[in-house]
């Protein structure tokens, strides 16, 4: 009996050691975040073992587990009509609120989900409920794009899917079919979906044949560059759940169908060293020492290698392709962007991506709202349903929807 208690105590100690992470005191629901992160790490390690044994790709297994354990739970009281249709070969889920006599035409949001270009779905409860709440709160038609994922396809196919579906929806006859006001359309997304939303918005702004254009773009903790993995937020939050720096670098490698052996070189910015001539053109567009406020720069120093590895850019030219890294777009493109909302979280490696994009857009003359949350973490906005319900999720979601309601 005594041995059993000793074993139980040892297991409890091991579990506590595995779960506990030293988090900043400002992080809300810190123990719940530790549990979420520990669960995600355990599942990822299992998936990587399966990958190592060559039984399946780890991202396929991980996404299967996410979708299998995801239970569709509606949190909306108003009847929202949900239909799955195809826009120019791309699956989308459309959320339509009931018609109102005093409002014959509705607002609309084209939404692109996150997940590192590899995980999640418009059909999971996390995004299904977010889009339902948006449709209900805004009395808007919400189009959630079910783009194809890594490893089935890699860049630029996710971008092409999002662009094709959005352009199809923006056709006047399609908007009329859904009773959408062509002057009140936003494009939005979170994380990798924010990346796709920004890239699609840039592409649409340069399309001279387009009749209808988005009025707004709303980007939620977007990933916007793979040029510098040592911005202050990457350094500050390198081990922060649920998106440590090494995980984000691996997502980029998967997106570009690259080699994991390049991860360390990317981490120390060997791909954008001063002797990598392909990167010189873009360096001035991502100078965080001038784009970030001092409160974000703190005491961090730039990591700029004198000599690096130019073969990385030759092997993965998409690292400098603005369709993948919209933060590197030229000023002439940024000037064409619509009114913009960017939500960032302090405890997130991607914080500075959003802050720098906000500053570059502002410098280009675009009206920008930067909505920063000191106590929140990456991915929090979709975590509003038990057992992954966080106060940070409700807080950021309400702020995001409030801005859309006031500006769309």
Q: How far apart are CA 167 and CA 247, in angstroms?
A: 32
Q: How far apart are CA 360 and CA 285, in angstroms?
A: 8
222: which 2 tokens?
């977007």
Is 51 considered catalytic here? no
Task: Report how far apart the first and last C-alpha atoms of the chain are (Å, whole number).
Answer: 66
- Single out the catalytic residue among 191, 271, 353, 375: 191
Beta partners for residue 339, in sequence order? 216
DSSP symbols for 56-84: S-HHHHHHHHHHHH--------S--EEEE
Question: Do residues 223 and 348 touch, judged by C-beta distance below 8 A?
Answer: no
DSSP symbols for 347-391: E-TTHHHHHHHHHHHHHTT--EEEEEEEEEETTGGG-EETTEE-H
Is 191 considered catalytic here? yes
Whether the bond into 172 is cis, omega within 30 of 0: no
Closest CA to 124 of 86, 197, 75, 69: 69
Closest CA to 28 of 387, 346, 382: 346
Longest dimension (CA), the chain: 78
- Single out the catalytic residue among 29, 348, 371, 375: 348
Rounded CA Rg of the chain:
21
- The residues annotated as belonging to the active site are 191, 348, 378
């Amino acid at each position: 009996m005594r041995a059993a208690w000793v074993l139980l105590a040892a297991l409890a100690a091991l579990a506590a050691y595995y779960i506990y992470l030293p988090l900043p005191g400002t992080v809300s629901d810190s123990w719940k975040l530790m549990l979420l992160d520990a669960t995600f790490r355990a599942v990822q390690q299992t998936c990587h073992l399966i990958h190592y044994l060559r039984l399946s790709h780890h991202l396929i297994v991980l996404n299967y587990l996410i979708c299998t354990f995801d239970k569709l739970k509606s949190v909306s009281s108003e009847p929202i009509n949900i239909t799955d249709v195809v826009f120019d070969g791309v699956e989308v889920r459309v959320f339509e609120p009931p018609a109102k006599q005093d409002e014959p035409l509705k607002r609309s949001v084209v939404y692109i989900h996150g997940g590192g270009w590899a995980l999640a779905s418009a059909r999971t409860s996390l995004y299904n409920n977010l889009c339902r709440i948006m449709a209900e709160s805004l009395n808007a038609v919400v189009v959630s794009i079910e783009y194809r994922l890594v490893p089935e396809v890699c860049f630029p196919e996710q971008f092409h899917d999002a662009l094709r579906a959005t352009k199809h929806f923006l056709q006047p006859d399609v908007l009329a079919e859904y009773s959408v006001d062509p002057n009140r359309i936003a494009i939005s997304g979170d994380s990798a979906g924010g990346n796709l939303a920004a890239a699609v918005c840039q592409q649409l702004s340069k399309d001279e044949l387009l009749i209808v254009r988005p009025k707004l773009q709303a980007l939620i903790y977007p990933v916007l560059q793979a040029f510098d993995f040592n911005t202050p937020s990457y350094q500050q939050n390198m081990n922060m759940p649920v998106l440590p720096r090494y995980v984000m670098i691996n997502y980029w490698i998967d997106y570009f169908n690259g080699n994991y052996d390049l991860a360390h070189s990317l981490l120390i910015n060997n791909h954008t060293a001063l002797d990598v001539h392909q990167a010189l053109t873009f360096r001035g567009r991502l100078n965080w020492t001038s784009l970030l406020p001092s409160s974000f720069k703190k005491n961090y120093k730039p990591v700029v290698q004198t000599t690096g590895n130019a073969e990385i850019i030759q092997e993965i030219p998409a690292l400098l392709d603005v369709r993948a890294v919209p933060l590197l777009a030229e000023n002439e493109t940024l000037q064409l962007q619509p009114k913009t909302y960017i939500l960032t979280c302090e405890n997130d490696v991607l914080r500075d991506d959003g802050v720098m994009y906000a500053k570059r857009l502002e410098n280009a003359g675009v009206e920008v709202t930067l909505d920063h949350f000191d106590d929140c973490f990456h991915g929090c906005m979709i975590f509003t349903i038990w057992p992954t319900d966080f106060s940070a999720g409700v807080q950021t979601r309400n702020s995001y929807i409030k801005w859309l309601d006031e500006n769309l």
